Amino acid sequence: MKRLISAIILSCALFSCEEIEDDRIPPYPVYVQFQTEADWNVYGVTGACDFKYFIKENRTPANFPWTALTETGFGGVLLVSDIHGKPHAFDLACPVEARRDVRIVVDTKLQKARCPKCHSVYDIFTNYGLPLEGEAATRKYSLRHYNVGPGFQGQHLIITY
């Protein structure tokens, strides 16, 4: 009897968990390389709650050393530094809209990212791109996350998982 009750409780717990979906944005290649520490200091994120946009199609930022290998995902890349100074990267495309031309924008007053079309709000500095408000929160759509890490000889890279 105790096993049956335990199994029922475990089943209820497993089936009541809600998952966050982070793959609404199609998997596109991402490869942003910072050749030197100086490049990282100019174009990367160097302090808590810092952010930068990388959009290959319109060369944002304009003076970034773009190469033939550079790829910026589906809607572009949002590079952020969390409240502890650790870098993270997300696709700029809103997962609710799932269009390349509908990109989230960082709201510096709220310290969050917001979609200008559906008005969903995402926590990018403390909660890894999870939805906080709007349709994204209702549907449990988070931002697509990319890997930020060291490259060859200490370079910084943003790449697709």
- 27: preceding bond cis by omega (within 30 degrees): no
In single-letter form, the type of residue at position 96 comes to: V
Task: Name the percent of the chain lying above pLDDT 90.
Answer: 70
Average pLDDT of the residues of the chain: 87
Cα angle vertex 26, ends 20, 32, to 5°?
100
The verdict on residue 8 lying in a domain is no
The domain in which residue 82 lies consists of 22-159
Name the nearest CA neighbour of 54 among 30, 38, 36: 30
For tokens 């530094």, name the residue.
81
C-alpha to C-alpha distance for 145 and 152, rounded to whole angstroms = 22
Has residue 13 been placed in a domain?
Answer: no
Q: How many domains does the chain have?
A: 1
* Residue 54 covered by a domain: yes
Q: pLDDT of 34-63, one tens digit each?
A: 988 889 999 999 889 999 999 999 999 999
- List, in sequence order, every residue forming a beta bridge with 141; answer none if it has no partner: 21
- pLDDT tens digits for range 76-97: 999 999 999 999 999 999 999 9
- Decide: 116 and 63 in contact? Cβ < 8 Å: no
Residue of higher predicted confidence among 88 and 17: 88
Which residue, 105, 99, 136, 114, is CA-closest to 21? 136
Q: Quick check: 117 and 130 in contact, CB under 8 A?
A: no
Domain CATH code at residue 141: 2.102.10.10
Tell me, yes or no, whether 46 lies in a domain.
yes
